[in-house]
Amino acid sequence: SDPDLVARATAAKAALGEKVFVLGHHYQRDEVIQFADVTGDSFKLAREAAARPDAEYIVFCGVHFMAESADILTSDAQKVILPDLAAGCSMADMAVLSQVETAWETLAELGVAAGTVPVTYMNSSADIKGFVGRNGGVVCTSSNAERALTWAFERGERVLFLPDQHLGRNTAVLEMGFDLADCVLYDPHKPGGGLTPEQLRDARMILWRGHCSVHGRFTLDSVDEVRERVPGVNVLVHPECRHEVVTAADQVGSTEYIIKTIEAAPAGSAWAIGTELNLVRRLANANPDKQIMFLDRAVCYCSTMNRIDLPHLVWALEELVAGRVPNQITVDPATAEHARTALDQMLALP
Ligand code: 13P
Ligand code: SF4
């Protein structure tokens, strides 16, 4: 990275001292991650944000929904900053509050909303988390989805899972022993979700039709191809991948799990990793004694994670040094109160 920008970021961070805490998601660029005080998956970063009451500014190098969650979990006096406001998440955008409310009304008309527990993946807007909190549900991440679903099924007979169909299906079927037939796909663009009343009533998992465009690129062919090309390769994927990919893989887990697995792997072992490319490249560089490759030959970054680059980080830090607060992410208090209920419930999962 540009030595001038590195020097400016270093100087700005030093000038801010304890006032600033920089969080970095594992999908961030190397040039940004070098300035993170803590790196982590979504769950770890939410916990870290909540555990820094003394930091006046939390600079969140990640995407919008993560910064919103950090704002909800920190005190009113603390300010959360997203270095580029265009760092959104296409999956989070696939569930809009009005659509979810329509779905819930449909369930209420069928008389089954009361037995349905809403569960939302962290990758959703604060509005959606607020809806889930108001309706007795919980947030989950890729590292605690099974525990969140177990909690939900102790409270209801059916789950409405938002917005990632793949995490919902993979967790229910591969970790909890549900049948594929227990899951139905609710399409918010079709009346009634494109499902019959019987399908909605009989389903145990109502999966929202959302997905991650980055992880959606991995296919069963990607797995077959790498197994053929690299005999003995271990296939390790994120649970946002399609069901057939996760089923064919050897291991599945969050970004933090992927890192720990590679760190613990024996020298000489070969790994094809199905997740975002910045992380896979960093793992390859940090583990030269292992053969680390991207699961698909087609290169794929998360374009919104990549919006946060060193120039944006330098700009944000220098604005703070100058006494201005750039790109602050705030959640309105009414939404935040309910969203916090659902986030706290996640943090309290056994
Ligand atoms: P985790 O880091 O929690 O595994 O999530 C991956 C992701 O897609 C974040 O957007
Ligand atoms: Fe969203 Fe996928 Fe990017 Fe994660 S990797 S931020 S789910 S688009």
Q: Which residues line ligand 1 (CB under 6 A)?
A: 26, 41-43, 89, 123, 141-142, 212, 238, 240, 254-255
- Cα 121 to middle of ligand 1, angstroms: 10
Q: How many domains does the chain have?
A: 3
Residue 260: give its domain's CATH number. 3.40.50.10800
pLDDT tier, 67 (very low <50, low <70, confident <90, very high otherwise): very high
For residues 147 and 156, give the distance between their C-alpha atoms in angstroms, rounded to a whole number. 14
For residues 23 and 282, give the distance between their C-alpha atoms in angstroms, rounded to a whole number. 17
Of 155, 179, 210, which marks where a domain is finished? Answer: 210
Flag whether 349 is in a domain: no
Mean pLDDT for the stretch of residues 258-285: 98
Point out the ligand 1 atom lying closest to the alpha carbon of residue 257.
4
Dihedral Cα 31, 34, 40, 44, nearest 10 deg: -130
Of 156, 184, 210, which marks where a domain is finished? Answer: 210
The answer to whether 59 touches 317, Cβ cutoff 8 Å, is: yes
pLDDT tier, 246 (very low <50, low <70, confident <90, very high otherwise): very high
Share of the chain above pLDDT 90, in %: 98
Counting other chains too, the contacts that 74-81 makes at CB distance below 8 Å and 24 or more residues apart are 74/49, 74/50, 78/52, 78/53, 79/325, 79/328, 80/49, 80/328, 80/329, 80/330, 81/57, 81/316, 81/320, 81/325, 81/326, 81/327, 81/328, 81/329
Total Cβ atoms within 10 A of residue 43: 20
Of 165, 191, 210, which marks where a domain is finished? Answer: 210
- Cα 301 to middle of ligand 2, angstroms: 9
Strand spans (E) along the chain: 20-25, 38-40, 57-61, 79-81, 116-121, 138-140, 158-162, 183-186, 205-208, 234-237, 251-252, 270-274, 291-294
pLDDT in tens, 75-109: 999 999 999 999 999 999 999 999 999 999 999 99
Q: Which ligand is nearest to the CA of 278?
A: 2
Tell me the pTM: 0.97
- Cα 319 to middle of ligand 1, angstroms: 28
Say if residue 200 is in the same domain as residue 260: no
Per residue, the 3-state secondary structure of 133-166, as one string, reads HHCCCEEECCCCHHHHHHHHHCCCCEEEEECEHH
Say if residue 107 is in the same domain as residue 73: no
| Residue 136 Cα to chain centre, angstroms | 21
Say if residue 280 is in the same domain as residue 186: no
**Sheet with 205-208: strands ordered across:** 138-140, 116-121, 158-162, 205-208, 183-186
The whole domain housing 139 covers: 92-210
Flag whether 341 is in a domain: no
Global ipTM: 0.97
Flag whether 196 is in a domain: yes
Point out the ligand 2 atom lying closest to the alpha carbon of residue 275.
5
Q: Angle at CA 256, nearest 5°, toward 253 and 259?
A: 95
Flag whether 344 is in a domain: no
